Chain A
Amino acid sequence: MKKIDILMTGVGGQGVILASDALAEIAMKAGHDVKKSDSLGMSQRGGSVVSHLRLGRQVFSPMIRKGEADILLAFERLEGARWADYLHKGSIAIINDLAIPPLSVVGGASAYPTTVEVEDIIRRYTDQLYIMPGTQIAQEMGNPQVLNVLLVGFLSVFLDIEEKSYIEDLSQRVPQKVLQLNLKAFARGREEALARTQGN
């Protein structure tokens, strides 16, 4: 069972922690040793959020080193760029194509990086970059809240965990009335990933 270090990042309120909680649980049930560490406390109030998720035979530190993350899943572009130096050659970077400009940008004190800039920053570390219109797809599906399930669906294609493990976990975690929508979002995330990887 080889080690996999996953960094999940985004903005407070986007559901990053919920997604990493679910993924950690699924990985444990699939037989991995798991450690997971989040930024909490003041960072919840619309600040940057990062969750370190480490899987393997035996995990010691709960924190990923720079240059050691195998997968970066960013719920927002700037928060993808911010953690790029955790990537290495061969890492997979999945970035939700959404911009949430921080107040310093809104006030005009600094500039939000363009999509091209974000791509350039990531490509200095790895070529395996997927910019994913997750927010747009979630809106089309009728509920922006399913973004995290959609992104976990996308990510799941790159992990050695059976699809049914995710579905089992979702069925327990999500209220019955939105379960179908969440299962659909998960499947859609997988489809999007498969469509992109099979082209490679």
Chain B
Amino acid sequence: MKRLLSGNEAMALGAHHAGLSVAAAYPGTPSTEILENLAKMEGIYVEWSTNEKVAMEVAMGASYGGVRALAIMKHVGLNVAADPFFAASVTGVRGGLVVISCDDPGMHSSQNEQDNRHFARFAKVPMLEPSNSQEAYDLMAWAFQISEEFDTPVLFRSTTRISHCKTVAEVQEAPDVDRKRPKFTRDPYKLVMVPSNARPRHPLMEERIQKLSSYVETFPLNEIILQDRSLGIISSGAAYQHAREVFQGASFLKLVTTYPLPQTLIRRFALDVKRILVVEELDPFIEDTLRAMGMNVIGKEVVPIMGELNPQILEERAAIAGLIPKPAALYAVKKPVRELPMRPPLLCPGCPHTATSYALKRLGFYHTQPEEESASGRKAVARKRQGLIVTSDIGCYTLAVYPPLLALDTCACMGASIGQAHGLEKAGITNKIVSVIGDSTFLHSGITGLVNAVYNEGRGTTIILDNSTTAMTGHQGHPGTGTSARGETAPRVVIEDLVRGIGVRDLSIVNAFDLALIEDTIKRCVETDEPSVIIVRGACPLHVRGKGKPMTVDLAACDQCFNCLRVGCQAITREGNEVRIDTAICVGDRCAVCSQVCHQKAIRVE
């Protein structure tokens, strides 16, 4: 049956039809929808794990138990899960173990664009890469089969354009799903990796890659298309589709087995064509191997090493390199009449992070002075004299780095804020330091940072922005929500109990929409000599809908100070000197942060 499926939907369906029993994931763009789709299917155990490392370990355990298992994450999640991922490569599997990594070239919603194909070579595991939803569906069964046949986890690599793109796929309608029965057989030589057991595993891993190298030579989904033989293109994933678009008449070798590479097949293709261009997104992963094979290829001198690829970029670069004639469209693009205003993403109207971000800006930027330009040449540099330093984390609240809030000073990776704040303090920075982290991120990997701060006598203040959901990725459950991956009621881990249990004595819980209380609490906490935690609690307006009484601006009372515009709320607009509140998107007095910053009390409930 023909269906229009996103890559993520296709992977979920493919895994289901391949007899998947256990799936574990932590949400992260662009991977989130895979588990969300699996959660709609019968007969599979699904869970949102606390983080990617745990998800990997759960999948490993399930595989040891003899059933087919899936761990799903975004590219940076595999950094978190790297330890068990490498361990699984050493022990091998029982039931098929597939690890989906969704990379994000172009950083649509990520802090970096690392190329996770390197993880396959690094951990010595085979890798498969689909180039559309059809292959995303078909390859899933192959991935489990390879895993079991070669006793190895399989890395299944997708990218944003594969995961989020909808393409037509022919799928089975409702096949009889054959699942393996759970069974655990004791075998310490395989499953207990003390050094004496691990050493004999390493030769097996090397042998495994050799066997896989032969196996992929005849893998049916690698495809040679011979057309004009003056140019042969070797490509994979989304890049392959862009290349087909741009080099319509050329010959192609499409690879879905990108580690190990089918070297004999590649050499055979090379004999059929005059010269070879490798079209791949990000790093020269395939290209480097071809060069090591002694082949003369064109690659990164034409195809950019950075950013997401698209037909436009590929066409321009190929034309400049003389591989194709210059396209007419290149000259048709006109200079803009004028710069159009940008529209960056913002905190939503009624967002429970707004008041805290506003308070942090006020306390943070009170005393700054411009310094020399930063290395990046941007002018946003200011030496903080006395104001707060705010280390932030991964979540919606990171949007407070943009104007007009400008509230944050660092953001690196999941859970980093608390450790960074502690490091700044121990370095001898005399400013007060506050770390800001969401509830889901705190449970993901903030806990260990807080334990560390307590043990090592930190004085920092940690703000846990608790909106009781994983908001940025679309409201998934986590241990603090009391909701399972299937949307059912689940036991709830109470964050304040956890914080107290860690040994934090100074704990405050404040309402996310009470600006004065938030500000006073921060001011008090940063003056103490012990670690403190402020839980700022308020629901996400996209998650818990509903409006309060509408807010309005009394224009007669307004003195046009425009403080309300500095809250950064999308519902507050200005026409000339008149401030208006768009009641269609304002959540009303459920939030009312704007009225709290108004000196004239001109913003009121209607």
Q: Footprint of B on A, CB under 8 Å?
A: 11-13, 21, 24-25, 28, 33-48, 59-63, 65-68, 78-79, 81-82, 85, 88, 101-113, 117, 120-121, 124-125, 144
Residue in A33, A45, A103, A144 whose CB lies within 8 Å of B168: A33
CB pair A112–B341 under 8 Å, yes or no, is: yes
- Shortest Cβ distance from residue A184 to the other chain B in the assembled complex, whole angstroms: 22
A112 to chain B, nearest CB (A): 7
Contact present for A34 and B167 (CB under 8 Å): yes
B346 contacts across to A, CB distance below 8 A? 45-47, 103
Q: Which of A11, A38, A65, A88 contacts B315 (CB 8 A)?
A: A65
Q: A45-B347, A88-B332 are in contact. Are A61 and B108 (CB under 8 A)?
A: no
- CA gap between A125 and B334 in the complex, in Å: 9
Q: Which of B109, B160, B241, B573 contacts A101 (CB 8 A)?
A: B573
**Residues of B contacting A88 in the complex (Cβ-Cβ under 8 angstroms):** 329, 332
| Set B336, B342, B345, B472: member contacting A104, Cβ < 8 A | B342
Q: Is the CB of A40 within 8 A of B109?
A: yes
Contacts of B403 in A (CB 8 A): 103-104, 107, 109
> Contact: A62 with B241, CB < 8 Å?
yes
Question: Is B584's CB within 8 Å of the partner chain A?
Answer: yes
Q: Which residues in A have their C-beta under 8 angstroms from that of B345?
A: 12, 42-47
- Report the Cα distance A88→B241, complex, angstroms: 23
User: Is B427's beta carbon under 8 Å from chain A?
Assistant: no
Instruction: Mark B305-344 against chain A: 1 for CB-CB distance below 8 A, else 0.
Output: 0000011100100000000000011001110111111111
- Complex Cα distance, B572 from A91, in Å, reads 36
B347 touches A35 (CB 8 A): no
Show 18 A/B contacts (Cβ-Cβ < 8 Å), sorted by A.
A28-B2, A37-B161, A39-B108, A40-B160, A40-B164, A42-B108, A43-B108, A45-B347, A46-B348, A47-B343, A60-B241, A65-B312, A66-B312, A85-B334, A102-B342, A102-B343, A106-B573, A113-B338
Residue in B closest to A43 when the chains form the complex, CB atoms: B345
A76 to chain B, nearest CB (A): 9
Contact call B340/A113, Cβ cutoff below 8 A? yes
Q: A40-B109, A61-B241, A103-B346 are in contact. Are A67 and B329 (CB under 8 A)?
A: yes
- Verify if B244 is at the interface (C-beta below 8 Å from A): yes
Residues from chain A with Cβ under 8 Å of B517 in the complex: none
Q: Mostly helix, strand, loop or mixed at chain B's interface?
A: loop
A37 touches B165 (CB 8 A): yes
Known: A38-B164, A41-B30. 18 other contacts (CB 8 A): A12-B345, A21-B166, A33-B168, A37-B161, A40-B160, A44-B345, A46-B346, A48-B343, A67-B329, A78-B340, A79-B343, A101-B341, A103-B570, A107-B562, A107-B565, A110-B341, A113-B338, A124-B334
Using CB atoms, name the residue of chain B closest to A68: B329
A residues less than 8 Å from B312 (CB atoms)? 63, 65-66
Residue tally, chain B, CB below 8 Å to A: 56
Contacting residue for B166 out of A34, A44, A65, A68, CB 8 A? A34
Q: Is B409 an interface residue (CB 8 A)?
A: no
Q: Which residues of A contact B347 (CB under 8 A)?
A: 45
Which of A21, A41, A62, A67 contacts B29 (CB under 8 A)? A41
B574 contacts chain A at the CB level, 8 A cutoff? yes
- Known: A103-B570, A107-B565. Contact between A66 and B329, CB under 8 A? yes
Give Cα distance in the complex from A101 to B167, angstroms.
34
Is A45 a contact of B4 with CB atoms below 8 Å? no
Chain B residue at minimal CB-CB distance from A13 = B585
Neighbouring B residues of A13 by C-beta, 8 Å: 585
Supposing A12-B345, A36-B166, A61-B245 touch, asked if A41 and B311 sit within 8 A by C-beta, the answer is no
The verdict on B404 contacting chain A, using a C-beta distance below 8 Å, is: yes
Contacts of A124 in B (CB 8 A): 334, 337
User: How far does the Cβ of B316 sit from chain A's closest Cβ, in whole Å?
Assistant: 10
Contact partner, B570, options A33, A39, A43, A46, Cβ 8 Å? A46
Assess the A107–B341 pair: CB atoms within 8 A: no
Chain A contacts of B75 at CB under 8 A?
Answer: none
CB-defined contacts of B241 to chain A, threshold 8 Å: 60-62
- Is the C-beta of B396 less than 8 angstroms from some C-beta in chain A? yes
Closest CB in chain B relative to A38 CB, distance in Å:
6
Q: How far is the CA of A44 from the CA of B337 in the complex (A)?
A: 27
User: Residue of B at shortest CB range from A36?
Assistant: B166
The residue that A35 contacts in the complex, of B165, B341, B399, B404, with Cβ under 8 A, is: B165
Which A residue's beta carbon lies closest to that of B133? Answer: A35
Query: B584 contacts which of A63, A113, A144 (Cβ < 8 Å)?
Result: A144
In Å, the complex CA distance between A117 and B337 comes to: 9
Q: How far is the CA of A37 from the CA of B241 in the complex (A)?
A: 13
For A104, the chain B residues whose CB sits under 8 A away are 341-342, 403
A40/B29 in contact, CB under 8 A = yes
Q: Is A37 in contact with B396, judged by CB distance below 8 angstroms?
A: no
Rounded to whole angstroms, the CA-CA distance of A67 and B562 in the bound complex is 41
A-contact 0/1 string along B124-168, CB 8 Å cutoff: 000000001000000000000000000000000000110011111
B333 neighbours in A (Cβ, 8 Å): 66-67, 85
User: Which among B241, B347, B568, B572 has the greatest number of chain A C-beta atoms within 10 A?
Assistant: B241
The complex places the Cα of A27 from the Cα of B270 at a distance, in Å, of 39
**B242 on interface, CB distance cutoff 8 Å:** yes
B 1-32 binary contact with A (CB < 8 Å = 1; else 0): 01010000000000000000000000001100
A74 to B572, CA, bound (A): 23
The listed residue (B244, B329, B339, B585) touching A61 by CB distance below 8 A is B244
